[in-house]
Amino acid sequence: GAVVSQHPSWVICKSGTSVKIECRSLDFQATTMFWYRQFPKQSLMLMATSNEGSKATYEQGVEKDKFLINHASLTLSTLTVTSAHPEDSSFYICSARDRSDYEQYFGPGTRLTVT
């Protein structure tokens, strides 16, 4: 089956610093990758959609200058949370889809805590 990895699994950072989260498709080419955020006991919230080689499309209310997304290759997308604040603490999950499949394959998620 299709496997998506995320790194790191969890990270603690200080307020004002930046954190980069990587999302990799291990055994397929991910033409589209999605970044979600999930707060405790809430559902997934789509942050942005990125297609390989083009700029990400951000959902309404998501600051593109704060959440930088790069999808430079068919197997890697990165999300950088810039100038992190405690309210950015959340569970960040990526998913990936290839050209021939409608299903989104999820990574294991990254738990970010900003102190």
Residues that bind another protein (CB under 8 A): 34, 42-44, 46, 49, 91, 93, 102-109, 111
Q: Residue 44 Cβ, how far from another protein at the closest point, in Å?
A: 5
Q: Which is nearer to another protein, 9 or 18 (CB)?
A: 9
Q: Which is nearer to another protein, 14 or 100 (CB)?
A: 100
Q: Which is nearer to another protein, 7 or 82 (CB)?
A: 7
DSSP state of 68: E
Q: Which is nearer to another protein, 81 or 93 (CB)?
A: 93
Q: Residue 16 Cβ, how far from another protein at the closest point, in Å?
A: 27
Given a contact cutoff of 8 angstroms between Cβ atoms, the answer to whether 6 and 108 are in contact is yes
Q: Residue 83 Cβ, how far from another protein at the closest point, in Å?
A: 26
**Of 88, 74, 77, nearest in space to 27 by CA:** 74
SS3 3: coil
CA-to-CA dists, residue 67 to 78, 102, 107, angstroms: 10, 25, 18
What 42-45 contacts at long range (C-beta under 8 Å, 24+ apart), as own/partner pairs, is: 44/93
